[in-house]
Amino acid sequence: MIDVHAHICDERLLPEADTIVSELAQNNVSAVIDSGFCPVSSEITVKNAEKYDNVYATVGVHPEEYQKASKEAFSRFIDLYNNNKKVVAIGEIGLDYHYPELPKEKQWEVFEEQLQIAGSLNAPVVLHVRDAVGDAYDILKNYFSYLKSGILLHCYSGSKEMVKQFDRFDCYYSFGGAVTFKNATEKPDVIRAVPPERLLLETDCPYMTPVPFRGQTNYPKYIRYAADKIAEILGTTFEKVDLQTTENAKRLFPRLR
């Protein structure tokens, strides 16, 4: 399995990075994409990718961190992407309307600037979209023809109807621990609506810990719980989900070896 969205760079996981990476193989995880969310964490993901064979990086400013966006940060992301083949995408970037104190206009600006960077680099983008599916769709409508290297909606939380809309942009969708939650009543329909060749696995660790570890810290090694649940929903086997999602991850992120 490939964990396409994790935060080993998070201060809760970073001190344990050696252990986390050493446990990957025995848990059938062949690669982890460590996702930056601000300028500092983006430097850490690249360092982790340089240090560990099966760790890859993304660089970007998350909407909650919009105040940390700057011209300097953006030009640094361009350098990091151009100079390190293990930086696989620009992300995580996007929109988050969950907290009303995050100004929408500012988020749009930071999001769109990074979409432009990704387009100019021919890099895939990893998107965080929370309670903002409609606006994210409207913005992507203006950019998708420019984003030729693919779009991932990480921890996709939109409806199955919106999957049909996002399919027009050839989006990929990744799912993690949330599929195992008892209140995830709409998730089975959403997962069945996603084209099989667009489905990916993630943990979003240290967040989104799956049942039966909910309430504790999440790790890439727990990705199996989401894969099992998705197999159950699709009426298929874990092995087939593993094979298909691994193939999909390598297609979306050609820098994964």
Residues 228-247 that bind Zn ion (CB under 5 A): none
- The gap from C-alpha 78 to its chain's centroid, in whole angstroms, comes to 19
For Zn ion, give the closer residue by CB, 60 or 196: 60
Pattern of binders to Zn ion over 29-68, x per CB under 5 A? ----------------------------------------
Give me the residue whose beta carbon is nearest to Zn ion.
Answer: 204
Question: Least CB distance from residue 6 to Zn ion, whole Å?
Answer: 8
CB-side neighbour CA atoms (13 Å) of 39? 14
Angle between helices 238-252 and 223-234 (to 10 degrees): 110
DSSP, collapsed to helix, strand or coil, labels residue 253 as coil
Stretch that binds Zn ion, among 98-106, 140-148, 197-205, 246-254 (CB under 5 A): 197-205
Question: Least CB distance from residue 5 to Zn ion, whole Å?
Answer: 6
For Zn ion, give the closer residue by CB, 16 or 232: 16
Torsional sign, CA 220, 98, 178, 139: negative
Pattern of binders to Zn ion over 202-231, x per CB under 5 A? --x---------------------------
70, 33 in Cβ contact below 8 A? no
Torsional sign, CA 26, 32, 37, 42: positive
For Zn ion, give the closer residue by CB, 43 or 161: 43
Question: Least CB distance from residue 44 to Zn ion, whole Å?
Answer: 14
Report how many residues bind Zn ion under the rule CB under 5 A: 1
Helix (H) or strand (E) holding 166: helix 160-166
Residues facing 59 on adjacent strands: 90
For Zn ion, give the closer residue by CB, 97 or 238: 97
Question: Least CB distance from residue 237 to Zn ion, whole Å?
Answer: 28
Angle at 205 between CA 204 and CA 207, to 5 degrees: 85
Q: Which two structure tokens, joined as six digits, stand for 173?
A: 């969708």
Q: Which two structure tokens, joined as six digits, stand for 64?
A: 């909650």
Stretch that binds Zn ion, among 53-61, 115-123, 133-141, 198-206 (CB under 5 A): 198-206
Question: Least CB distance from residue 100 to Zn ion, whole Å?
Answer: 21
Q: Which residues in this chain contact Zn ion in the complex, by CB under 5 A?
A: 204
